Every structure is written in C-alpha cells, then in structure tokens.
Structure 1
Amino acid sequence: MKSVISSEWLKLRSVSSTYHAIGAAALTVALGVAWTLYVAALADERGTLRAAAPEQGFLPLVQVSLAVLGVLAITSEYATGMVRTSLIIVPKRSTLLLAKAGIIGMATFVTANTILLLTYATSRLIANDRSLGFNQVPLTDDLPMLLASGLSVTALALVGLGLGAAMRSTAGAIMSVVALLFVLPGVATYLPAPWNTHVSTFLLPNLVPQVAGERLSSRLGDGFLPSWAALALLLAYPLVALAIGYYQLRRRDA
C-alpha cells in the first residue's frame, strides 16, 4: 500500500493540472485582499459597516477549484489510457481508489486550510482596527468555521474523485459537483415550506455553518442539525460518492 500511495503522490505532483487547480484556489487570497481594501476604503468614508468575511465569501472558488483536482485525478487517467497501466501494477481496484482518495484528501485539506488561513490573516491585517463586521471576533471564535470550511473543500474533492471514477467524464463529473454546490441549494429555496428548510439543511454547502455550530441564514431557514450530525453528514457525501465510484470501477473494464 505504501508504494501505491507514493505512486499516486508522484502522479499528482507531476501533472500541470494540479498546479493550475491550486493556483485557481489560491486566487482567493488575492481576491480577499482586494475585497478587504475595498470595504476598508468604504469604512474610512462612512464609518462602521458590516461586510462579509472574505474567507467565506470566496470559499466556493476554493471548493470548485480543488473539486476539479479530485475529478482530474481519475478522469485524466481514463483520457490518456494510463488507468490500464495503473490497474496492471495495482490489480486490486479498491487499493488504487483508496490510495487516490488518501492523497487527494491530504493534499486538498492542507491546501484549503492554508489558503483560508492566509486569506483570514491578510484580511484582518489590512482591516486593522476598522470596524468591518468580520474582524470583530478573535481567531479562536472563527476557528470552527475555518476548519469546517477546509473540511468541506476536502469532502467536495473526494466527491469529485468518486464521481469521476463513476462517470469517467471530466465535464460530467465537474458539472455534477457544480450542481451539488450551486444548483441544488438554489432549487431547494423554491420548494414549498417547510420542505425548503428541511432540504436546504441537508445540502452539502449548508452543512459548513452547522458543523461550526452556527445557524443557517433566514433565507435558507433555521438549520437544526447539531454539530456532530452535520459533520457525519458532511463525511457521508464523499463516502457515498467513492462507494459509487468503486462500484463502477470494479464492474467495468478500464
């Protein structure tokens, strides 16, 4: 297993798409700086204001970028035919998928948390003593949300890996992740009450504040999951996607 993990790590860091995905996610830091400079200038003119925290406002960019990394980790091998070589070297498909999941999970968790923490730190440094709304609480209070956000990125990357293994299509898997992240939450808001609240509460993007112990916004209804239940459901998303991916990987030829 150790040699398989080493091989997957080598694959991940030897392709340019990895750096493109990470680079796109890292734009969050620059966007966070630009946003903070903008709202800081407004605060200088108008005084106190309440702005969205940049690490939360630009979180979808990190989520989508690293979910694409998860998708490409498997679909690029199908596109080039490299998956056949991988299966010759590692005939047990569960071992291959598990090694990929481990490497993608580790890489995206570290990358996401680094980007989010940098965005957090730079925005607070620029904000200084201005009252911008998002810089009024200490890091210890914001840490649960930061960790939940980083975990959601890893979950989406593993969902992308599972869907990529199941669909064998880069475009199809990416569109499915985008639908999960943006389309379904939008559709849920148009459901009749109380179904809009119930469905929204269980959707992956809305689990982040619940994992951190916060309530959902009034637009989405009041989230009612305790932190442990929201965390369990967040982890269930990639587990289900990887199980489907493994089933398809096992039943079909490379």
Structure 2
Amino acid sequence: MKSVLASEWLKLRSVRSTYYALGAAALMVVLGIGWTLYVRDLAGVRGTLSAAAPEQGILPLLQISLAVLGVLAITSEYATGLIRTSLVTAPKRGALLLAKAAVVGLATLVTANAVLLVTFAMSRLIANGRHLGFNEVSFAESWTTVLASGLSVTALALVGLGLGAAIRSTAGAIASLVALLFIVPGVVTYLPSPWNARMASVLLPNLAPQIGGQRVSSQLGDGFLPPWAALALLVAYPTIALAVGYSALKWRDA
C-alpha cells in the first residue's frame, strides 16, 4: 500500500492540471480580499452594513476548483491509458482507488483550509474595525464553520473522484458536480414547503453551515440538521460516490 500511495502522490504532483486547480483555489484568497475592500469602502459611505463573510462567499468556487482536481486524478488516466498500466502493476483496484482518495483528500484538505483561514485572517485585518457584520463574530465562534467548510471541499473532491471513476469522462463528471453544487439546490427551492427546507438541509453544499450550528436559510423554514447528522451526511456523500466508482472500476475493463 505504501508504494501505491507513493505512486499516486508522484502522479498527482507531476501533472500540470494539479497546479492549475491549486492555482485557481489560491485565487479565491484574492477574491475574498477584493470583496472585503469593496464592502469596507461601502461601509465608509453608509457607516455600517451586514455583509457576507468572504470565506463563505468564495466557498462554492473553491469547492468546484478543487473538485475538478478529484475528477482529473482519475479521468486523466483513462484518457491517456495510464490506468491500464497501473492496474497491471497493482491488481487490487480497491487499493488503487483508496490511494487516490487518500492523496486527493489530503491535498484538498490542506489547500482548502489554508485558503479559508488566510481569507478569514486577511479580511478581518483589512476590515480594520469597520462594522461589516462578518467581522463582528470572533474566530472562536466561527472556527467550526470554517473548518467544516474545508471538509466540504475535500468531500466534494472525493465525490468528483468517485464520479470520475464511474463515468470515465472529465466533462461528464464535472457536469455532475456542477449540477450537485449549483443546479439541484436551486431546483429544491421550488418544492412545496416544508419539503424544500428538508431537502435543502441534506444537500452537500448546505452541510458545512449546519455542522457549525447554523440554519440552511432563513427563507426555508425549519430545514436544519444537528451538527452530528450534518457531519455524518458529509462523510456519506464521498463514501457512496467512491463505492460507486470502485464498483465500476472493479467490474468493467479499464
């Protein structure tokens, strides 16, 4: 298993797409700083306002940028045929997928938390005592949501890895992720109450705030899971996706 992990780590850091994805994730810090500068200047005119926290505003873009990394970790091997060689030298396909999941999970977890924490710190520093709403909540009160947001990025990257193994198409897997992250939550809001709130509360993009003890949305009524249930669901999403991907990898020819 150690050699498989080393091989997957080498493959991940040897392709340009990895650095493109990590670079896109790093750009989220710039977006967060830009948003903070904008609302700070706006507060200079209006006095006080209640703005969204920049680390939460950049979260969907951070999620999709690193989810693409999870997709490419497997679909790029199908495109080049490298996975056929990998399966010959490592016939236990479960070990291969597990090693990929470990490497992708570690890379995305470290990157996501670094981006979110740097954005959090820089935005509060730039706010410089202005009443912007988000900077009136201390890190002690919001650290669970920030770290849960980092976990949600990792979960989505692993979902992308599982979908990539199952679909074997970069475009198809990314389209599925976009639907999960952006389209399905929008569709759910049109369901009759209280089903819209209940369905919204179990969607992957809405789990991180609930782990931190927040409601999904004030417009969706009582759609709220306790933190332990939201965390369990966050783990379930990548677990199911990877199980589906493993099934496809095991029973179909590479």
TM-score normalised by L of structure 2: 0.98
| Matched-pair contact (CA < 8 Å) for 1:155–1:237 | yes
Shift of 1:46: 1.3
Q: Summarize the alignment of residues 72-83 of structure 1 with structure 2, pairs less than 5 Å apart.
A: 72-83=72-83
Provide the rounded CA distance (Å) in 2 between the counterparts of 1:150 and 1:220. 24
Provide the rounded CA distance (Å) in 2 between the counterparts of 1:219 and 1:250. 44
The residue that corresponds to 2:214 in the other structure is: 214
The residue that corresponds to 1:12 in the other structure is: 12
Provide the rounded CA distance (Å) in 1 between the counterparts of 2:44 and 2:197. 38
Shift of 1:221: 3.0
Provide the rounded CA distance (Å) in 2 between the counterparts of 1:137 and 1:158. 31
The residue that corresponds to 2:238 in the other structure is: 238
The residue that corresponds to 1:226 in the other structure is: 226
Provide the rounded CA distance (Å) in 2 between the counterparts of 1:196 and 1:42. 34
Provide the rounded CA distance (Å) in 2 between the counterparts of 1:205 and 1:145. 13
Q: Summarize the alignment of residues 31-180 of structure 1 with structure 2, pairs less than 5 Å apart.
A: 31-180=31-180
Provide the rounded CA distance (Å) in 1 between the counterparts of 2:194 and 2:129. 42
Provide the rounded CA distance (Å) in 2 between the counterparts of 1:187 and 1:220. 13
Specify the code of the residue in structure 1 equivalent to 2:141: D
Provide the rounded CA distance (Å) in 1 between the counterparts of 2:212 and 2:9. 31
Provide the rounded CA distance (Å) in 1 between the counterparts of 2:201 and 2:137. 26
Provide the rounded CA distance (Å) in 1 between the counterparts of 2:162 and 2:212. 26
Specify the code of the residue in structure 2 equivalent to 1:221: G
Specify the code of the residue in structure 1 equivalent to 2:69: L
Shift of 1:219: 2.3
Stretches of 4+ aligned residues off by more than 3 angstroms = none
The residue that corresponds to 2:3 in the other structure is: 3
| Matched-pair contact (CA < 8 Å) for 1:210–1:223 | no
| Matched-pair contact (CA < 8 Å) for 1:40–1:130 | yes
The residue that corresponds to 1:28 in the other structure is: 28
Residues 142-195 of structure 1: per-residue CA shift (max 9 Å, x gap)? 101101100000000000000000000000000101111111100000011121
Provide the rounded CA distance (Å) in 2 between the counterparts of 1:235 and 1:162. 13
Shift of 1:220: 3.1
Provide the rounded CA distance (Å) in 1 between the counterparts of 2:176 and 2:220. 22
Provide the rounded CA distance (Å) in 2 between the counterparts of 1:209 and 1:74. 30
Gaps of 5+ in 2: none
Shift of 1:75: 0.1
Provide the rounded CA distance (Å) in 2 between the counterparts of 1:186 and 1:60. 14
| Residue-pair matches, total | 254
| Matched-pair contact (CA < 8 Å) for 1:74–1:165 | yes
| Matched-pair contact (CA < 8 Å) for 2:200–2:216 | no
Shift of 1:45: 1.3
Over the residues paired in the alignment, what is the CA RMSD in angstroms? 0.8
Gaps of 5+ in 1: none
Shift of 1:222: 2.6
Structure-2 change in CA distance of 1:3 and 1:86 (3 Å): same
TM-score normalised by L of structure 1: 0.98
Provide the rounded CA distance (Å) in 1 between the counterparts of 2:178 and 2:187. 13
| Matched-pair contact (CA < 8 Å) for 2:162–2:242 | yes
